[in-house]
Chain A
Amino acid sequence: MIESSLSQMGAALRAKKISSVELTQLYLDRIAQLNPELNAYITTRPEASLAQARAADARIAAGTAEALTGIPFGQKDIFCAKDWLTTCGSKMLHNFVSPYDAHVISQFNNAGAVNLGKTNMDEFAMGSSNETSHYGIVKNPWDKARVPGGSSGGTASAIAARLCAAATGTDTGGSIRQPAALCGISGLKPTYGVVSRYGMIAFASSLDQAGPMGRNAEDLALMLNTMAGFDERDSTSLQREKEDYARDLNKPLNGLRIGIPKEFFAEGLGSDVAKAVEAAIAEYKKLGAVIVDISLPNTRLSIPVYYVLAPAEASSNLSRFDGVRYGYRAPAYTDLADMYEKSRAQGFGAEVQRRIMIGTYVLSHGYYDAYYLQAQKIRRLIAQDFVEAYKHCDVIMGPTSPSTAFKLGEKGDDPVQMYLSDIYTIAVNLAGLPGMSIPCGFGDNNMPVGLQIIGNYFDEARMLNVAHQYQLATDWHSRAPQGL
């Protein structure tokens, strides 16, 4: 059952071949067995999960089940969930039990899905290896000496290890796609504004976007159908007609124009990754696609631009964590300023503090124009590159990450080295475009490689079609790590 697609699981549940309680228990048992080592979940509440499963079974019995009813999902610990500890991977929120549900959580709840637990993540989603979590590192199920990627590393690890049917992630600079690539699963970051950010703890508001992560494109389409939609509680949520993201899954790819940006295959790309990605592109040619050489000349600026804008927004977004109303407060302090300083110094980890300081600096009087405004201008140029590219192609493809999963601790001392691992993903967030990663083979050390598919605005259905057709022709997505 755990290798079934979501639609197969849903069908089995509705046919009463298995109950949601049984399926949930199956996953809870796997979590109990494997999570102590993988550390993919920060919080589980088996009783709460089973109660949801019983409610789902009642709904199935009553004949009112929907596509996801009764299916157990993991939820990234960035989403506020009522009565659940919601830590965002930080000591700062070690005691924060949310009194309300994020939009994404209520969408899953309304669909009758089961919440298996809150998945581990880099602290406040700041990281590319899941090593900045206050709740410990997460291991890659393919090689437990390696990172799962980040920041949605817990989600990626849990999916790869079959500790949930699928799970949610969020992506500010690659946090869905990069861990999906490193753990050999599929993940989609939708167009900015497609999924409401309400209740999703903000890192960089203009870049943050929630999305589905799972074992295949078809599963992602079903999840996105549940997650997407206008929400008046998020002013950046887009008011669009509800669409079925699975509608084009079975379209043939004849004549599909795939843009290959030369900048994605330049210096810095691992040869093992390049080989797997090139093989995938060759497979697409077999499926009838046409390859178009394109250029995204400003992409090279995306990392410096991102590391001005994202920390700027983060430095402000994280100001609310001040020890006054909830969360961590230093046990001893002399006055108000000391309380702020100690609570934040003790409550935030090093990477978060580093970004708060960068962000504070670039917004400071006298630096704002040189950094923040300049970065905003370049951001527009980067977006413009894509507008130009889409005049010549339908989707853009390339590697998701320059390398496969690196060793735990390998890049811990060098933040810039770590930042470079997001080189292919960040421009997509800056432009607000949808992007996804699907498994396309294995590189050195037999670690998974991800193929990145970047779509035009609101072209998620086409991207899912493109991914699904590849997954019909190949079996990389159904490989599972052995020896767990």
Chain B
Amino acid sequence: MTWEIVIGLEVHTQLSTNTKIFSGASTAFGAEPNTQADAVSLALPGVLPVLNKGAVERAIKFGLATGAHIAPRSVFARKNYFYPDLPKGYQISQFDLPVVGQGSLTIQVEPLSGNAKPYEKTVRITRAHLEEDAGKSVHGESQGVTGVDLNRAGTPLLEIVSEPDMCSAAEAVAYAKALHTLVRWIGICDGNMQEGSFRCDVNVSVRKPGQPLGTRREIKNLNSFKFMQQAIDYEVQWQIDTIENGGKVQQATILFNPDTGETRAMRSKEDAHDYRYFPDPDLLPLEISEEWKERVRATLPELPQTKQARYVNQLGLSAYDASILTSSREMADFFEITVHSFMSQVLSDMNTSAARPADPIVAKSCANWIIGEVGAQLNRDGLDMSQCPITALQLGGMLMRIADGTISNSGAKEVFRTMWAEGGDADAIIEAKGLKQVSDSGAIEAIVDGVMAANADKVAEYRSGKDKLFGFFVGAAMKASQGKANPAQLNEVLKKKLAA
């Protein structure tokens, strides 16, 4: 019996403003408790919220990047409930009139099991709204006492709500990852999941194909993609087992325990709060003019999906390469600068200033090096692209030296290793290490002559039909050149002379 899985996500992204959404207090992570709690964060009597324009602009950016409707007028509402880390006794959020309306995000899904092929899917985004983060309750600092740290209270959040469009853990994770890439890409969130900058709530239900939606349970506060996948897998199985054993799924909010790999109910629907939403009378409706929207649009970088398409269509890269190269803005920038520096050297060597689109061969070679060597080294050293010890200009310079025959591929690997470990430009390393190829035809002919003279018997065997010996001559000649002979040239000379 097959089951259909239905998943929707609510993602809380902390917006990367320097100050809070309704006050001038700092949002920096990790300060001493309550040192970033100003009068507004503490909800002293008489204080009032003043909206941070930077937070609004980040919301607009997100809306534009997902092709969403930006509400010309949206409203801040109060969500009322009591909790020690909620100093006002209400959270300022948006309820029936959010700033960002319906949009969508196209994702690349890599199925987790079997031989299924990667595929593309478009997930609809229901809405995204601005709200303030709560503080934190700190338990166990001393016996029987709970502390409250209000540094985080008032940090701007954009809550991004998807439609229940995902039907596997793989799709949910792919969507979360694409969202994570996007918010960092457009510079609205640092994406630091350990620090809670990007937190996911996952709504999961199961049903028989063609049946109405099943009862959902909401897994709260997942802060790693790995946990998200584990939590969904566990939860889906739990719901199926429950129903197949004759039980009923009750609507509930649940938590995932990474240590046990299980989910457990936190509160049921009966305990659900009546939040008594109403428009916050301390804040005017948020009005966004066309002009403001267009000003923000002008600051948007080329988006990952646009880039991907361009890499495939103009640079001839595979969809796979294009998706890896656009997995972060740093990666894409690295790739584009590498290509650009490569191309500009070609142009300057040709003594021409004529603009020329990037060559697919150049692009492919850059992509191979970045995805292959650079990626492997970063992985090995546990670094991300922003911490890469070599620059794109350095890599481009080196690739140029492969292209113009100065170094061989094996020489390039040596240059690359040195560059990674010690720094320096390709030309300097080639010079210092004597890695320059011998491309002088006279010198290569002399080497070949020497090798043939020293191996006259093998020459005779070759000429009598033992073609396989060609490899032997290449090896011997390369050795005689101390590995510096231009392999293509060497091949050519050898062929010619052996055939003579």
A96 to B44, CA, bound (A): 10
Given the known interface contacts A316-B80, A322-B82, the answer about A235 and B46 at a Cβ–Cβ threshold of 8 Å is: no
**8 Å CB contacts to A: which residues of B29-59?**
39, 42-51
B84 and A324 contacting across the interface, CB-CB below 8 Å: yes
A93 to B45, CA, bound (A): 9
B276 and A201 contacting across the interface, CB-CB below 8 Å: no
Given the known interface contacts A236-B284, A363-B80, A365-B274, the answer about A201 and B87 at a Cβ–Cβ threshold of 8 Å is: no
Task: Closest A residue to B150 by CB, please name it.
Answer: A325
Chain B contact residues, majority secondary structure: loop
B87 and A325 contacting across the interface, CB-CB below 8 Å: yes
- Stretch binding the partner chain, chosen from A35-43, A192-200, A383-391: A192-200
**8 Å CB contacts to B: which residues of A70-91?**
79-80, 86, 88
A242 interface residue (CB < 8 Å to B): no
A99 interface residue (CB < 8 Å to B): yes
B278 interface residue (CB < 8 Å to A): yes
Task: Closest B residue to A232 by CB, please name it.
Answer: B50
Task: Closest B residue to A78 by CB, please name it.
Answer: B46
A86 and B82 contacting across the interface, CB-CB below 8 Å: no
Residues of B within 8 A of A96 (CB): 45
Q: Whole-angstrom distance from the CB of A380 to the nearest CB of chain B? A: 14
**8 Å CB contacts to B: which residues of A174-221?**
197-202, 204-206
Number of interface residues of A (CB under 8 A): 44
B90 interface residue (CB < 8 Å to A): yes
Residue from the list A232, A322, A364, A365 in contact with B89, Cβ < 8 A: A322
Residues of A within 8 A of B90 (CB): 316, 319
B50 and A233 contacting across the interface, CB-CB below 8 Å: yes
Given the known interface contacts A235-B51, A340-B82, A372-B278, the answer about A102 and B87 at a Cβ–Cβ threshold of 8 Å is: no
B281 interface residue (CB < 8 Å to A): yes
A320 and B46 contacting across the interface, CB-CB below 8 Å: no
**8 Å CB contacts to B: which residues of A46-105?**
79-80, 86, 88, 93, 96, 98-100, 102
Q: Whole-angstrom distance from the CB of A198 to the nearest CB of chain B? A: 6
A368 to B84, CA, bound (A): 26
Residues of A within 8 A of B97 (CB): none
A266 interface residue (CB < 8 Å to B): no
A457 interface residue (CB < 8 Å to B): no
A316 and B274 contacting across the interface, CB-CB below 8 Å: no
Chain A contact residues, majority secondary structure: loop
Number of interface residues of B (CB under 8 A): 28
A-B contacts, CB under 8 A, total: 98
A364 and B276 contacting across the interface, CB-CB below 8 Å: yes
A102 to B44, CA, bound (A): 11
B44 and A360 contacting across the interface, CB-CB below 8 Å: no
A230 to B88, CA, bound (A): 25
Given the known interface contacts A316-B78, A316-B90, A319-B82, the answer about A198 and B48 at a Cβ–Cβ threshold of 8 Å is: yes
**8 Å CB contacts to A: which residues of B258-285?**
274, 276-278, 281-284
A273 interface residue (CB < 8 Å to B): no
A149 to B89, CA, bound (A): 31
A197 and B48 contacting across the interface, CB-CB below 8 Å: yes
A320 and B43 contacting across the interface, CB-CB below 8 Å: yes
Q: Whole-angstrom distance from the CB of B96 to the nearest CB of chain A? A: 11
A340 to B88, CA, bound (A): 13
**8 Å CB contacts to B: which residues of A355-395?**
360, 363-365, 368, 372
Q: Whole-angstrom distance from the CB of B154 to the nearest CB of chain A? A: 13
A312 interface residue (CB < 8 Å to B): yes
A80 and B45 contacting across the interface, CB-CB below 8 Å: yes
Task: Closest B residue to A326 by CB, please name it.
Answer: B44
Given the known interface contacts A102-B46, A235-B48, the answer about A313 and B39 at a Cβ–Cβ threshold of 8 Å is: no
- Residue pairs across A and B with Cβ atoms less than 8 A apart, 17 shown, are A80-B44, A98-B45, A100-B44, A198-B46, A202-B46, A202-B282, A204-B281, A232-B50, A234-B50, A235-B282, A319-B89, A322-B82, A322-B89, A324-B87, A363-B80, A363-B276, A372-B278
Given contacts A316-B89, A325-B87, A325-B148, 11 further A-B contacts (CB under 8 A): A79-B46, A98-B44, A98-B45, A199-B47, A201-B46, A235-B284, A336-B84, A360-B276, A363-B80, A364-B274, A365-B274
* 10 closest A-B pairs by CB: A319-B89, A206-B281, A363-B276, A205-B281, A199-B46, A320-B43, A201-B45, A80-B46, A365-B274, A201-B46
